[in-house]
A = this chain, B = another copy of it.
Amino acid sequence: MRAAERTADGENAPWGEVTPEAARKLLVAAVEAFAERGYHATTTRDIAGRAGMSPAALYIHYKTKEELLHRISRIGHDRALALLTAAADGEGTAAQRLAEAVHSFVRWHAEGHTTARVVQYELDALGPEHRAEIVELRRRSTAAVRRILVDGVRDGEFDVPDVPGTTLAVLSLCIDVARWFNAAGARTPDEVGELYADLVLRMVATQK
């Protein structure tokens, strides 16, 4: 119940691309079930039941539970990479691009926190090939943020003694929003995005 409500607020979860509607409903049901009980405690029968379908109807769209997880993970990681690449390729100073990367990445983790938890915490449950594919998307997301830091250092805008470590910390700070964000809490996704963009710019600012 709670997970269902939580998913409802992540309206911009990018499931619109999943067709037909039955396949989309099953994916949303899988996100809710995985977030609530964990991947290993969820059966395809649970997922079909949540979607109001029979197990046989599920198998028309997804052959295995892992195929559902892979689809969720792939859509989530594609979206994360698109957000971060758009920010890295955007107009403006390195500081403006870094603020945009953090703001949009945080907003995505806050608005879609139920989905983001599944995307970020169930990597170990993917099969080896799917896992390798997702690891490559993560590598490219990391590279987009690192590129902004490198540009900022080159242009004298940033002081970053440890670029790989700081890149990791920036991404990590944003990702953990999915763990603690509460739609009923005091801050909106945009407010968290704004606060975090400011904190990250402070991390990389040239020192007095």
Specify which chain B residues have a CB less than 8 angstroms from the CB of A207 in the assembled complex.
Answer: 202, 205
A91 touches B (CB below 8 Å):
no
Distance between A49 CB and nearest chain B CB, rounded to angstroms: 16
A19 touches B (CB below 8 Å):
no
Q: How far is the CA of A168 from the CA of B41 in the complex (A)?
A: 31
A96 touches B (CB below 8 Å):
no
Copies of the polypeptide in the assembly: 2
Specify which chain B residues have a CB less than 8 angstroms from the CB of A204 in the assembled complex.
Answer: 202
Q: How far is the CA of A19 from the CA of B24 in the complex (A)?
A: 50
Q: CB distance A180 to B187 under 8 Å? A: no
Specify which chain B residues have a CB less than 8 angstroms from the CB of A203 in the assembled complex.
Answer: 199, 202-203
A82 touches B (CB below 8 Å):
no
Which of B40, B121, B161, B169 is close to A37, meaning CB atoms less than 8 Å apart? B40
Q: CB distance B199 to A166 under 8 Å? A: yes
Q: How far is the CA of A175 from the CA of B195 in the complex (A)?
A: 18
Specify which chain B residues have a CB less than 8 angstroms from the CB of A205 in the assembled complex.
Answer: 202, 207-208
- Looking across the interface, which residue of chain B has its beta carbon closest to that of A200? B203
Which of B165, B173, B177, B208 is close to A195, meaning CB atoms less than 8 Å apart? B165
**What are the 6 tightest A-B residue pairs by CB atom distance, in nearest-first order?**
A38-B38, A40-B41, A41-B41, A176-B176, A37-B40, A172-B176
Contact sample, A vs B, 5 pairs, CB 8 Å cutoff: A37-B40, A38-B38, A165-B187, A172-B176, A176-B176
